[in-house]
Structure 1
């Protein structure tokens, strides 16, 4: 009788627990309801977009109010409204879009050249110890050299044409990228290599079909990051006897303390970078859906 009563009580308790939702502590319920400040929480796409737009508008509003109230001298930092007006004037009257296109072409040519060289060299450095031992000290030395200090040498070597501008952009990108590629290859788990050899893969097959495919997601992210670095060297590259490009526009406006045009040029670079980065992020999600 006792066992039956015990079983009956347990069954009733089970039914009650199944019917009654589990009660979480208040802190847990708060975290579930408010993922905004949760550690590694999740936000819907709509919430992320709304948050990004709101934060950007708040920054622009603070900037506008600070300059209008005189807290910041508009001579040194024109308000967003003036910057937007100047930007439109430069687009319609001063060929800003043409200069932006020229700068974008220069950046992409230099970046493509860096990628074509850095990817195979970086893979070789991490795959073959002899190559890494020979090249890594040289690359480490050159990548710490300030690019502006090499402008006079680049003019002596290549003159003042397009080659010098491409070289300076390449110089600021290649030596950073090649080490990132080498690190990406080193992070490929050794188990992948051993399994490939176990099933009869040859060294080139293992490198092409296993290691390279495994490193592709992180390689794509590093390419996106280094493309941003390439843009940061644009001003340096386009002050070398240039008569077009965004760097030239900004540098020419600086001479006359025309800060609104300087800001318009800077904003143009930022907008191009933002658009490019978002497109690359979208490509990453499409290409690597399994992550």
Structure 2
């Protein structure tokens, strides 16, 4: 039922958009019709290797996200479990996560040059500092009685963290990973305008330079489709893995 409502609403929006474009209510230079965007997308698949560019961008996002998650999960758990660690790191993380990533592009180029490492760093930067605080919050939500029972039964701190607290926080953690993966995608354009010659961001930026609005919209739509499919797959995996919720 919910899927049908979602599909129906999306179709109605597309029909309204197409009708407005055909009626001349919007300037096609600034907002091309859905049909024009679809035609541009098909042409880009055939002649501009759009699917290959999408694969490159997906690989970059997942690589940076995996690195951010691998670092954020243990750091977040330690911040929540040990007050000294939290007191030491939280002010620094709060400071950095409010910095706009575009403003750090020049520094990133100075530090890493204009290669692949800069793109991955910018994607990581937009994800890690947000995720580590979400992980710490998930850890704080673990019921205290779980921890107390584990200590009563003779468990040591590493065992409590690994076998009790981590498993209790896992459903919320997976959900937050899904959300922050979407945030990582939002920094893709910023990452791929740094001396890039591949990726959806590069395609969009090149099309913008020549005012090819249908191609710009096509690139944006591709990102949206990838994000929607990924999100739905992760939601389904979450429901399957945590049926007891």
1:152 counterpart residue number: 106
Query: Can you list the C-alpha shifts for 1:228-248, whole angstroms capped at 9, x where unaligned?
Result: 000000000000000110000
Indicate which of 18, 43, 47 corresponds to 1:64: 18
1:212 and 2:166 aligned: yes
Report matched runs for 1:8-87 at 5 Å. Answer: 47-87=1-41
Mapped to 2, the partners of 1:160 and 1:273 lie a distance apart of 26
Report matched runs for 1:234-273 at 5 Å. Answer: 234-273=188-227
After TM superposition, the score normalised by the length of structure 2 is 0.99
Runs of 4+ in 1 over 3 A off after TM superposition: none
1:201 counterpart residue number: 155
Higher relative contact order (CA 8 A, sep 6+): 2
Query: Can you list the C-alpha shifts for 1:189-241, whole angstroms capped at 9, x where unaligned?
Result: 11111111111211111111110000000000100000000000000000000
Instruction: Indicate the SS of the match to 1:63.
Output: helix
Over aligned residue pairs, what C-alpha RMSD do you find?
A: 0.6
Mapped to 1, the partners of 2:4 and 2:116 lie a distance apart of 42
Instruction: Indicate the SS of the match to 2:155.
Output: coil
After TM superposition, the score normalised by the length of structure 1 is 0.84
2:66 counterpart residue number: 112
Mapped to 2, the partners of 1:232 and 1:172 lie a distance apart of 9
Indicate which of 191, 196, 202 corresponds to 2:145: 191
Query: Can you list the C-alpha shifts for 1:79-101, whole angstroms capped at 9, x where unaligned?
Result: 10111111111011110000000
2:49 counterpart residue number: 95
1:262 deviates by: 0.1
1:16 counterpart residue number: none
Mapped to 1, the partners of 2:201 and 2:31 lie a distance apart of 19
Count of residue pairs brought into register by the alignment: 245
- Higher-Rg structure is 1
